[in-house]
Amino acid sequence: MIELDVLVQALLLGLFNSSVYALVALGLTLIFGVMDIADFAQGALYMLGAYFAFYASQLLGVPYFASLGLAALGVAAIGVLNYLLVYRPLHRVGGATTFIAALGILLILENAAIFGFGADFRLLPSPFGQQKLTLGGAVLTYHQLFTIGMTGVLLGAVWLFLRRTKMGKALRAMSQNRDAAALVGVEMHKVAIITFALAAALAGIAGALVSPTRAFNPTIGGIIILKSFAIVIFGGMGSLKGALVGALIIGLAETLVAAFTAAQYSDLVAFGLMIAILLVRPQGLFGGGGRTA
Amino acid sequence: MTMTGGKRGPELVLEGVSVYYGRVPALQGISLRVGPGELVALLGANGAGKTTTLRAISGLLRPRSGSIRFGERDLGRLSPAAVVRAGIAHCPEGRQLFPEMTVLENLEMGAFTRDDPEIAADLDRVYALFPRLRERRHQRAGSLSGGEQQMLAIGRALMSRPRLLLFDEPTMGLAPYLVDEVTEAIGQLHEQGIGVLLVEQNVHVAFAVAERGYVLENGRIVLEGPIEALREDERVKRAYVGG
Ligand SMILES: Nc1ncnc2c1ncn2[C@@H]1O[C@H](COP(=O)(O)OP(=O)(O)OP(=O)(O)O)[C@@H](O)[C@H]1O
Ligand SMILES: [Mg+2]
């Protein structure tokens, strides 16, 4: 007999968990769709987002909400630099080289962060303090609720950008047919910069949003990017819908498994589901047809 | 009113253009020209280099040597976007639509380089040319039939207001009545003063609308002249069974 409180608690935490995955996976799938790059360096950008928020509020005294914006901007700049300095020069070479370069950037940024910030775990105080929402026997902190809400707002904004703006449509066009996009006059280079900036900003905000909830150090990027990548594969490489539905399913499944079996199994969920779907549907849940619908 | 606003474009001139894929030559010093408002056919068997020629003109491929000029402009140095802005639209082989976008969005993408108030009027002109596109404007491009997709590809190319249109096998895979419809549309565009470089495997289409033609073989131009002369040429007859 399943205890209701345990179930509600797992679902609430799962929603928070899914929100973080959704932000990172969305950026990954955008970059994959538009650029054909599996950008593992996004993991480091997530980590740097947490440090941006931490130093902005602890050293500079910037209010937490403003530090989210700073994290987005700062990390977006680093994401664009990755493209200009590494991916763009390598683009002619293509394939495996780009992938190794992405792992290289992840490791370099991680080590630079250890060197610069130290390897100690940190936690940022939440602007909401310890306030909690109680639903029967289940609790969720205001900060976790805020993270879920912010994710909703950001996903809506990205959706509007992709649907309504000329640049957003150019981005979708390029991910659906690169040659055709060039032939109608889309400037590939400009779209690439926007894509990297947008994806990095999302990863940076995700890191900054989580920094008051989960203790972080420079190595947190590796596991989140592996799982987000599993989510992107699960949902279908390059598919936006796939990344979001995948984040929801895997985020919820993880907390449910942790609640009803044992916490150490939850890390297996993302990879287990990824392998399961690859066996039945190699193109992923929403993959195959077009991308970035 | 026409899709060109009445202005004829400059002349397209290729001189000694060579294009390589890695070390393999695909074009070996070809020269051709398309005069203002002229309709020129580029014929040739599979693998002759027709698509390569069009891709070099639109800036998707860089010639290793030779020059591609459109009036005063040196296209050899321009990005594909700059070539579109110069007034050349490319309706590519295999249609190459944006499959997850609607018909309307595909047409809007065709006007991507533009920022003028006449885009809506040009949209109406495309719908007048292909009424079926209007009916299907909110449908995903990927869900259209082959003929409708080809009309959309042509419509999208028109939305940039080109003065020169490059067509790469626009009738490929179409039912005979659709071949006629597309051929007629190309003829109409030509009558409006748009220059056309038409790549066709279906020589009947090329013979029906073109004024002049070139025959490409293994990356070289082996024959050129008025379309009537090509029609009678034994080499062309041999190259195209039933041609
Ligand atoms: N991306 C590529 N890489 C390497 N070789 C290529 C590439 N594209 C074309 N080729 C080669 O270049 C030559 C010319 O090809 P092209 O596509 O221009 O021919 P085509 O005349 O358009 O043929 P078709 O009628 O089949 O469309 C062919 O030998 C082809 O195999
Ligand atoms: Mg071809």
- Provide the ipTM: 0.93
Other CB atoms within a 10 A radius of the CB of residue B62 amount to 12
B5-62 per-position pLDDT tens digit: 556 789 999 999 999 999 999 999 999 999 999 999 999 989 999 999 999 999 999 9
Pairing of strands B164-168, B88-91: parallel
Distance separating alpha carbons of residues B111 and B116, to the nearest angstrom: 10
Cα of B82 vs centre of ligand 2, distance in Å, is 23
A287: in domain:
no
Residue having the nearest C-alpha atom to atom 25 of ligand 1: B46
Mean pLDDT across chain A, nearest whole number? 94
Grade residue B180 by pLDDT with cuts at 50, 70 and 90: very high
Grade residue A289 by pLDDT with cuts at 50, 70 and 90: low
Contact A212, A125 (CB under 8 A): yes
Q: Tell me which amino acid residue B90 is.
A: H
Of A92-101, B121-130, B149-158, B174-183, the range with the lowest mean pLDDT is A92-101
> At a CB cut-off of 8 Å and minimum separation 6, what does A119 contact?
A217, A218, A219
Domains, chain B, ordered by start: 12-234 (3.40.50.300)
Contact A232, A23 (CB under 8 A): no
Please state the rounded mean pLDDT for residues A65-75.
Answer: 97
Phi then psi for residue B7, to 5 deg, are -85, 130
User: Any alpha helices (H) in chain A, and if so which ranges?
Assistant: 4-35, 42-58, 64-82, 88-90, 95-117, 142-164, 166-176, 178-183, 188-210, 220-235, 240-260, 266-280
A220-254 per-position pLDDT tens digit: 999 999 999 999 999 999 999 999 999 999 999 99
Residue having the nearest C-alpha atom to atom 18 of ligand 1: B49
pLDDT for res A3: 85
A234: in domain:
yes
Tokens, residue A184: 């109608």
Place of tokens 């032939």: A183
Contact B112 A291 (CB under 8 A): no
Helix and strand totals (H; E) in chain A: 12, 2
* pLDDT at A290 exceeding the cut of 50: no
What CATH number is attached to the domain comprising A234?
1.10.3470
Grade residue A128 by pLDDT with cuts at 50, 70 and 90: very high
A87-124 per-position pLDDT tens digit: 999 977 767 889 899 999 999 999 999 999 999 999 99
Tokens, residue B221: 């131009």
Nearest C-alpha neighbor of B30 from the set B236, B240, B232, B223:
B223
Of A258-267, B37-46, B120-129, B169-178, the range with the lowest mean pLDDT is A258-267
The ligand that comes nearest to the alpha carbon of residue B52 is: 1
**Domain around A162:** 4-280
Cα nearest neighbour of A187 on chain B: B81
Grade residue B232 by pLDDT with cuts at 50, 70 and 90: confident
* pLDDT at B194 exceeding the cut of 80: yes
Distance separating alpha carbons of residues B229 and B237, to the nearest angstrom: 11
* pLDDT at B189 exceeding the cut of 60: yes
- Between residues B206 and A96, which one has the greater pLDDT? B206
For residue B16, how many C-alpha atoms fall within 13 Å in the half-sphere facing its CB?
4
Number of domains into which chain A is organized: 1
CA B235 to chain centre: 24
Considering just the CA atoms, what is the radius of gyration of chain A in Å? 19
Please state the rounded mean pLDDT for residues A269-278.
Answer: 91
Nearest C-alpha neighbor of B31 from the set B48, B13, B49, B44:
B13
> At a CB cut-off of 8 Å and minimum separation 6, what does B131 contact?
none
Contact B99, B140 (CB under 8 A): yes
Pocket of ligand 1 (CB under 6 A): B 21, 24, 26, 44, 46-52, 93, 201
Grade residue A66 by pLDDT with cuts at 50, 70 and 90: very high
A65: in domain:
yes
Nearest C-alpha neighbor of B230 from the set B217, B210, B17:
B210
A220: in domain:
yes
* pLDDT at B243 exceeding the cut of 50: no
Q: Tell me which amino acid residue B153 is.
A: A
Pairing of strands B212-217, B39-44: parallel
Q: Angle at the Cα of A43 (from A80 to A275), degrees rounded to 5?
A: 125
pTM of the model: 0.92
B99 burial via Cβ count (<10 Å: 0-12, 13-18, 19+): buried
Cα of B44 vs centre of ligand 2, distance in Å, is 9
A191: in domain:
yes
Instruction: Please identify every residue whose CB atom is under 5 Å from ligand 2, which is an ion.
Output: B 51, 93
pLDDT for res A226: 96
User: Any alpha helices (H) in B87-130, and if so which ranges?
Assistant: 103-110, 119-129
Phi then psi for residue A139, to 5 deg, are -130, 150
Among chain B, residues having any CB pair with chain A shorter than 8 Å are 58-60, 79-81, 84-85, 89-90, 92, 96-101, 105, 108-110, 112-113, 142, 156, 160
